[in-house]
Amino acid sequence: MKLRLLVGLYLGLWVTLAVVLAYFGMAVGVSPWVTAGGVFFTFFFINGSLAYVFRSRQLKREGQTPPSYINYLFQTDKFNQPARVPALVRIALGLIVSFGAALFLFAGGVFTLTHKSSGQLFAGCLLLSLGAAFAYVGYRVIRMNNPSRRLFGKDRDLGLPNNSLQPTANDAAAERPR
């Protein structure tokens, strides 16, 4: 029962804090989206700080050195490890990004071909550039068939085109003379 009471008080505190932040954000005249973003970042940093204090005290009791606050809050040590993403998720995400790229390319083409001012021409060129960049990212996300492959930059070289120890059917098809 004591744990339920603590959890209820904790959640009540967060609801109260969210309402107060939203009220003051609206009273000052800030956009609702900016207010919601501020509430989210406030929750992120306060919860992260509370978790860091708890974890660092626990590690100190065990005789270990706690990580730095920034390392703990943003977990930067996990950025150097390759992410394990199922193929279906990777392909679906790549298709969604590619669809967005097609929309940007279409809008950029419309703006570029029907421009009436230099601002519209600039917007069209900007949308075309962003569409091309999104198309590249979508292609790379779909193509990343191994955790050792990187989204940008050079892949970790293991000697084969797909960075695996065994050639795949795609590698054999790519090396086939035409």
Last residue of a domain, one of 24, 48, 79: 79
Higher pLDDT, 120 or 78: 120
DSSP, residue by residue, 3-14 = HHHHHHHHHHHH
Last residue of a domain, one of 38, 61, 79: 79
The reply to whether 52 and 96 lie within a common domain is no
The reply to whether 110 and 44 lie within a common domain is no
pLDDT of residue 168: 56
Higher pLDDT, 121 or 149: 121
pLDDT of residue 100: 92
| Residue showing tokens 């919601």 | 36
Query: Do the domain assignments include residue 110?
Result: yes
The reply to whether 87 and 46 lie within a common domain is no
Query: Do the domain assignments include residue 60?
Result: yes
Summarised one tens digit per residue, pLDDT across range 67-108 is 888 888 777 665 556 667 777 888 888 899 999 999 999 999
Tell me the C-alpha distance between 95 and 101, whole Å: 10
Query: Do the domain assignments include residue 170?
Result: no
Higher pLDDT, 115 or 122: 122
C-alpha torsion sign, points 132, 136, 139, 142: negative
Structural domain for 97, as ranges = 82-159
| First CA to last CA distance, the chain | 73
Summarised one tens digit per residue, pLDDT across range 18-54 is 888 888 888 888 888 888 888 888 888 888 888 888 8
pLDDT of residue 105: 94
Query: Percentage of the chain with pLDDT > 90?
Result: 18
The reply to whether 94 and 126 lie within a common domain is yes
Query: Do the domain assignments include residue 153?
Result: yes
Query: Do the domain assignments include residue 57?
Result: yes
The reply to whether 90 and 150 lie within a common domain is yes
Q: Nearest CA to 57 among 40, 72, 45? A: 72
Query: Do the domain assignments include residue 166?
Result: no
Spatial contact of 129 and 101, defined as CB atoms under 8 Å apart = no
The reply to whether 148 and 119 lie within a common domain is yes
Predicted TM-score (pTM) above 0.75: no
Q: What's the number of domains the chain is made of?
A: 2
Does the pLDDT of residue 152 top 70, yes or no? no
Q: Nearest CA to 93 among 133, 132, 139? A: 139
pLDDT of residue 76: 62
